[in-house]
């Protein structure tokens, strides 16, 4: 949200006041020559509670409805994440533990499952790409320290443990009046571990650069106890720039991602002959352009450049922007809203024009 981009005074910050936030967000993407767009409306809920001076608890849940064609929709609850974070050692050490409760919708039918393939594309950035993924447990640690005045280095790691769930339930032959046993197999996504290295440079009192590298390793997915797939390991580089002028500011963020070849079960495990993963570059810009009593007006920019994979597909680009606003409703309550429009193209078998629209509103109450 808009209030989270201000420069930090502590090495690792901890919220001193709790809040409850809820709202409504709508997003759609339409592909040229496709009859209907992929659309989603969600109602995210977040509760943050400080517990003493060193700990805080976060609970988040994002129910929603997604749809495209007639009789192709998914609506219901998402998984619920409960996370506890503690900051120690003079705000230099942060420990995070979380659990994802399997409250989300699973056992999708075949048309719903096809819809999730669209929702989960990175290019679209849907707020709720998957409703339910089984129970997850994660733990992470970050250590940050100042190496000299104006330079802070951070090291961290995270592990996510995933349990099995039933993603799809589909009855073969149901449209033909035939009676077969339903396809309802247990699927366990692979665990993942990531390492983080970051450096913050305080160039001036009103200017800061943040550089972070993240490497993620994925374990193999299991279907009914058998290994079936392994996602390629991923490297991500994040570059952030913050500049404050008068009562306004500029915040820009660039993300570069590169993923290795996937592994597939073909009698035995083999890596892809040609990688199906292309490089990804994403850029975001936010400028607080107008300051007024209790809030401000923001200009938003967004760019996405996806390169071809080794099979010659998967490339695409999209550029756009919009505006946002926030203002204080009363003491301890804030309203935030934004609108964004995107235009570009993406290749599946052939390159086609695509356009997207996103709008959201959020109410936040301090508690």
* CATH code for position 142: 2.40.128
pLDDT tens for residues 228-270?
A: 888 999 999 999 999 999 889 999 999 999 999 888 765 454 5
pLDDT attached to residue 173: 56
| Residue 186 token pair | 């247990």
Question: 12: pLDDT confidence band, cut at 50, 70 and 90?
Answer: confident
Kindly state whether residue 293 falls inside one of the protein's structural domains.
no
Residue 160 forms part of a structural domain? yes
| Domain contains 284 | no
Do the domain assignments include residue 123?
yes
Is 157 within a domain?
Answer: yes
Domain membership flag for residue 206:
yes
Give the model's confidence band at 179: pLDDT under 50 very low, under 70 low, under 90 confident, else very high. low
Q: What pLDDT does 334 receive? A: 95
By the 10 Å C-beta count (0-12 exposed, 13-18 middle, 19+ buried), 4 is classed as exposed
Higher-confidence residue of 227 and 178: namely 227
Q: CA–CA distance from 57 to each of 47, 51, 160 (Å)? A: 8, 7, 18
Average pLDDT on 67-90 reads 94
Query: Is 190 part of any domain?
Result: yes
* Residue 365 maps to a domain: no
**65: containing domain:** 17-278
> For position 175, what pLDDT does the model report?
54
Residue 312: what pLDDT?
86
Count the domains in the chain. Answer: 1
Residue among 194, 128, 139 at smallest CA distance from 161: 139
Side by side, which strands form the sheet with 221-223?
Answer: 187-188, 221-223, 226-230, 263-266, 268-271
């Amino acid at each position: 949200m808009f209030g989270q981009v201000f420069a930090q005074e502590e090495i690792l910050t901890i919220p001193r006041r709790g809040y409850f936030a809820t709202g409504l967000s709508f997003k759609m993407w339409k592909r040229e020559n496709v009859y209907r767009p992929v659309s989603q409306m969600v109602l995210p809920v977040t509760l943050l509670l400080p517990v003493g001076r060193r700990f805080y608890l976060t609970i988040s849940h994002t129910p929603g409805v997604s749809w495209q064609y007639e009789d192709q929709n998914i609506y219901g609850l998402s998984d619920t994440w409960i996370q506890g974070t503690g900051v120690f050692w003079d705000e230099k050490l942060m420990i995070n533990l979380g659990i994802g409760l399997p409250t989300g919708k699973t056992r999708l039918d075949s048309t719903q499952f096809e819809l999730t393939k669209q929702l989960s594309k990175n290019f679209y950035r849907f707020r709720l790409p998957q409703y339910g993924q089984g129970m997850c447990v994660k733990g992470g640690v970050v250590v940050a320290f100042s190496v000299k005045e104006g330079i802070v280095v951070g090291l961290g790691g995270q592990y996510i443990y995933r349990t099995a769930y039933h993603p799809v339930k589909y009855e073969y032959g149901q449209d033909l009046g035939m009676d077969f046993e339903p396809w309802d197999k247990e699927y366990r996504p692979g665990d993942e571990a990531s390492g983080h290295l970051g450096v913050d440079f305080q160039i001036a009192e009103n200017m800061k650069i943040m550089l972070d590298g993240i490497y993620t390793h994925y374990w193999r997915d299991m279907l009914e106890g058998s290994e079936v797939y392994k996602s390629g390991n991923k490297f991500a580089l994040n570059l952030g720039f913050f500049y404050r002028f008068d009562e306004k500011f500029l915040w820009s963020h660039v993300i570069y991602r590169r993923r290795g070849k996937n592994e597939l079960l073909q009698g035995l495990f083999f890596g892809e002959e040609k990688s199906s993963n292309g490089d990804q570059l994403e850029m975001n810009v936010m400028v607080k352009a107008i300051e007024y009593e209790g809030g401000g007006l923001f200009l938003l920019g967004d760019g996405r450049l996806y390169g071809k994979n080794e099979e010659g597909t998967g490339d695409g680009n999209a550029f756009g922007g919009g505006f946002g606003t926030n203002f204080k409703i009363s003491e301890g309550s804030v309203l935030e809203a934004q609108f964004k429009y995107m235009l570009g193209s993406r290749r599946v078998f052939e390159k086609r024009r695509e356009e997207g629209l996103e709008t959201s509103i959020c109410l936040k109450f301090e508690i």
